[in-house]
Structure 1
Amino acid sequence: MTERTPRTVLLRGGNVYSPADPFATAMLIEGEHVAWVGSEGAADAYAAVADEVVELDGALVTPAFVDAHVHATSAGLALTGLDLTGCPSLAEALRRVAEFSAATDGVLIGHGWDETGWPEGRPPTLAELDAAAAGAPLYLSRTDVHSALATSALRAATPGLADLPGHHPDGPLTRDAHHAVRKAALAHLTDEQRRTAQRATLRHAASLGIAALHECAGPEISSAADLAALLELAAAEDGPEVFGYWGELGGVERARELGAVGAGGDLFVDGALGSHTACLRAPYQDAPAGDEGATGAAYLTADQVAEHVAACTEAGLQAGFHAIGDAALDAVLAGVRAAADRVGLPAVKALRHRVEHAEALDEKAIAAFVELGLTASVQPAFDAAWGGPDGMYAARLGAERAAGLNPFAALLRAGVPLAFGSDAPVTPLDPWGTVRAAAFHRTPEHRISVRAAFAAHTRGGWRALGRDQEGVLVPGAPASYAVWRTGELVVQAPDSRVAGWSTDPRSGTPGLPDLTPGSELPVCLRTAVRGRTVYLAG
């Protein structure tokens, strides 16, 4: 159920998460904005003028979430098609490929395989994949989307593939070879298939209490046509707002033509740890002896970063880069600093240029983020999926190096702005799961409070866009909110991380759900975007 015309809506009889009143039980919406937040007694006066009165029955009302890094078409294809996320074995993956191939015509597109969790310990061979797909063209991205499997039919349909960096005659494709085969596969999507996938992502996001998405597009990850279609769809239909980023080096004018808010997002400085393409100062622990790519892949130099940041800054447009490994982050920071020397540090800082993922940060790099006014757009679910002493990160880097990844607490202490996202389909749209992952980071010293994590996944996403007044429920703010069925609300002491939960109302701090691992996550009952209901639970 959706509605086009904003109305006057009174929500009452619940708990409203608002700094305006930590004990608020009701909220009045007039048109697109919050008009009032307060107690139940005062709500009676507004009931007579409201077009709709929503009895919350104890439900929690919060600002809606912002997912600061998504790929809507790819996420929608995973939602509606072949998704191997969590697949337990190579044999099961091949069985699912065969089942999908038998039921699907044309080019097949799938996602999510991860050989590190399979008992076979390897991806399928080309022969195995060809047999499972019955000879059909198939593109199957790894869970990190920085390498992929492709059948012989799709390889043959990709001109010059064998001559590109990252080509492997039998195994996964990386680097330029991966980009080429992905482009060939996505080129076969019809307009209707694209709309169906994008609509699936937007509707799923709305059902999870997400009111805004940052789409990280680019010529290597999707296409200009894909971004234009998504922005058009989001503007035409009720659902989450979409803010586009176009990740093309020197792409300032193209970003503007597309209606993007920034020339960045997935502008790749390196790849990903799972695919051995994140660019590192020291070799991967599990790199084969003599491997020329033992420190990963470097896609951009510091000089190229500097040119892009300077051009964006002079144009008044936010820049951004995908950088995971420590060497890639070194290149970004050197480049941004060089751009600041050229166009002025105040001008650079004013635009809050972004770094996506920013996983391998040391103290020096964090200090540089502060110096240069950079925003860290990060994905806590990465740590939940691959962190810890026995996870993929430790296998790639060794336990000691892996333990330094995703240092959210150090970033917050230093004053670096955080914006949380999923990188869907790399990890699923799951906002409360993301908050939990940050609060219960697998490395305890990197944990942050639930309240800080919630802020990073709501207000942090708006601040990354330069919209500092959004993402909070106070009078005059945009009425983008979600209603949740949840258990008892608690307050987490900021210095206790895991322990220290309290239900004492005298704290004067608005409560949030108990997200202790194993507890049930909140269920979304209603999502509104600027006063319009875009999701209502059946």
Structure 2
Amino acid sequence: MAETLLLRDARTASGADPVDVLLADGVVAAVGPDTVAAGARPGAREIALDGRWLLPGLWDEHVHFTQWALSRRRIDVSAAHTAGGAAALVAAHLGEHGAEVPPHPEHPLVGYGFRDGLWPDQPSVELLDRAAGALPVVLVSADLHCLWLNSAALGLYRSEVGDAPGGTDGTGLLVEDHAFAVTGRLAEVPDELVDQWAADAAAAAAARGVVGVVDLEMAWNAEIWGRRVAGGMRSLRVDTGIYPQHLDRALAEGLRTGDPVPGGAGLVTVGPLKILIDGSLNTRTACCAEPYPDGSTGLLTVQPDELLDVLRRAVGGGLVPAVHAIGDRANRIALDAFEALGSGGRIEHAQLVANADVPRFAALGVTASVQPEHAMDDRDVADRHWAGRTARAFLLRSLLDAGATLAFGSDAPVSPLDPWHAVAAAVARTRGDLPAWHPEQAIPVADALASSSRGRRRIRPGDPADVVAVDRDPWTAPAPELRAMPVALTTVAGAPTHLAPELRAMPVALTTVAGAPTHLAPELG
């Protein structure tokens, strides 16, 4: 029998009186005054929330989970404002931890988080060679679309580098498919080790109120998550993404979006079919209608006819399509494909959208799967590389007003796996002490929370018993408090995945209605 939780004195709306909430059999069984305790069962646990606010559990709709788990253990080079600064961070790390770095030439040193879109100097192989010598070094960009390698790393990954310009032009920069190929090699960590790192990352996510993720790792994710659940990892629901290179296998196995994954304990389901058709803003490969300052317009990595063919096969097999489109030209091509297909789906990112295309999301039933924190990370690079176009960049209010469905994510590790960052960015359009960036695109907190909880706006009977209790009123908290929202309790299917030490959790010994016992523990009999 599933665990039964009785949550005492919870506020389910701003200014609401506290009520009790019963979680039983994996759903919200009842919400109301203390008589709801009549539904408690032997062995139930009672948790006193003491007036805390109880919300539907939060989802991250776009995560690269293994990359996120790996990035938490890599050198952080996100603070570098120049190529020289990034190389200096590598040298400093080696100076401090050199003895701990594996000397074997097939174990590269990996850093993560550089953003070169505003760097005044050029990355080079020589620069990293001076910092690391003969040790292979790979730096992964924050957007995952670019890698920077030194000579030893270029040699180590010779087959993946192939004819990439970065292998011959002295920069050591790999972009898009060449970068993804090396990234795949970097993820070749023993299963037991990467699964432990993933479990740690999942526990950290639960501590921020996360109950589920859409994992868009470039891998056969159904197998990976089946293995993790079998190993005892049960703190998240997971929708497992599929990529075109695995489409034949998915169709042959009859996988359909929304179906449970065998061995997933009811927590793992088949997610969307994801296809990338352009690059990213920071790498200047997002496909745009107008040029970047250097005269390029980005990359269209999948032609429209090929895109439509893949989407038709996916939809015909029961898979919901999710198209990665960042530039405005890519978004138009994706919307055109959905229109020709006659079926809805998702566009991942939708960072730059032509005004005429905004109403098409709702009209075509296409969800805008967006990452509000990216606007905070990329506001300066957007001002430079999309100058004159930023009024239609990272749109939220315009899409919402046009009737589109928003689904918030982080794209972790591009941004941290923390939905409260997305909510705060969507509501305030700023971070820290900076003025709001295009504040006309801010949305109300209720809509931001709904976009982070699959449209659920409050706790209702019959909903999944995936809830989060927080210490402050999220509907009235200012943006800095939203961003750092203290989370006291998270449950998935009624089972606590995070419980703050100060909360009491105890078995229910006695419940009464109108003075008559409705449950009496044996030890009280």
Fold equivalence (TM over 0.5): yes
**Equivalent position of 2:124 in the other structure:** 125
Give the superposed CA RMSD.
2.7
**Equivalent position of 2:146 in the other structure:** 147
C-alpha contact (below 8 Å) 1:322/1:355 kept by paired residues: yes
Q: 1:413 to 1:239 in 2, by over 3 A?
A: same
C-alpha contact (below 8 Å) 2:288/2:329 kept by paired residues: yes
Q: Normalized against structure 2, the TM-score is what?
A: 0.82
C-alpha contact (below 8 Å) 1:270/1:325 kept by paired residues: yes
2:404, 2:172 → 1: CA distance?
40
Q: 1:143 to 1:57 in 2, by over 3 A?
A: same
Q: Normalized against structure 1, the TM-score is what?
A: 0.80
1:446, 1:166 → 2: CA distance?
38
- Offset of 1:517 from its aligned partner? 4.0
User: What's the CA shift string for 1:321-340, capped at 9, x where partnerless?
Assistant: 111001111221222223x2
**Equivalent position of 2:241 in the other structure:** 245
**Equivalent position of 1:25 in the other structure:** 19
2:215, 2:458 → 1: CA distance?
22
Partner of residue 475 from structure 2, selected from 504, 512, 522: 512
Instruction: Give 1:102-181 correspondences, 5 Å limit.
Output: 102-105=99-102, 106-116=107-117, 121-122=120-121, 124-160=123-159, 161-164=161-164, 167=167, 168-181=169-182
- Offset of 1:107 from its aligned partner? 2.9
User: What's the CA shift string for 1:224-245, capped at 9, x where partnerless?
Assistant: 3x66223431464221111111
1:335 and 2:351 aligned: no
1:6 and 2:25 aligned: no
- Offset of 1:124 from its aligned partner? 4.2
Partner of residue 325 from structure 1, selected from 321, 324, 327: 327
User: What's the CA shift string for 1:52-102, capped at 9, x where partnerless?
Assistant: 221112222111100000011111112133232345643652345424664
2:91, 2:457 → 1: CA distance?
44
1:482, 1:517 → 2: CA distance?
19
For structure 1, the residue ranges without an aligned partner over 5 or more in a row are 461-469, 490-510
1:410, 1:195 → 2: CA distance?
40
1:456 and 2:448 aligned: no
Fraction of identical pairs, as percent: 29
Q: 1:518 to 1:164 in 2, by over 3 A?
A: same
Give 1 or 2 for the bigger CA radius of gyration. Answer: 2
Partner of residue 386 from structure 1, selected from 364, 378, 382: 378
User: What amino acid maps onto 2:440 in structure 1?
Assistant: E
2:215, 2:246 → 1: CA distance?
19
Q: 1:50 to 1:230 in 2, by over 3 A?
A: closer
User: What's the CA shift string for 1:439-493, capped at 9, x where partnerless?
Assistant: 1122112111000010000024xxxxxxxxx67521111100112122xx3xxxx
1:433 and 2:421 aligned: yes
Q: 1:256 to 1:245 in 2, by over 3 A?
A: farther
Residue 66 of structure 2 aligns to a residue whose secondary structure is: helix
2:131, 2:196 → 1: CA distance?
26
Partner of residue 45 from structure 2, selected from 45, 49, 52: 52
1:84 and 2:89 aligned: no
1:44, 1:301 → 2: CA distance?
59
C-alpha contact (below 8 Å) 1:370/1:416 kept by paired residues: yes
1:194, 1:96 → 2: CA distance?
26
User: What's the CA shift string for 1:349-393, capped at 9, x where partnerless?
Assistant: 3xxx11100111123212222232111110000012222xxx111
- Offset of 1:47 from its aligned partner? 6.8
User: What's the CA shift string for 1:418-446, capped at 9, x where partnerless?
Assistant: 11000000000121121010111221121
C-alpha contact (below 8 Å) 1:263/1:320 kept by paired residues: yes
1:36 and 2:30 aligned: yes
**Equivalent position of 1:310 in the other structure:** 312
Relative CO higher for 1 or 2, CA cutoff 8 Å, sep ≥ 6? 2
C-alpha contact (below 8 Å) 1:216/1:246 kept by paired residues: yes
- Offset of 1:518 from its aligned partner? 6.5
**Which stretches of structure 1, 4 residues or more, deviate above 6 A after TM superposition?**
47-50
Range with bigger deviation, 162-171 or 446-455: 162-171
Residue 244 of structure 2 aligns to a residue whose secondary structure is: coil
User: What amino acid maps onto 1:94 in structure 2?
Assistant: V
1:138, 1:517 → 2: CA distance?
36
- Offset of 1:127 from its aligned partner? 2.2
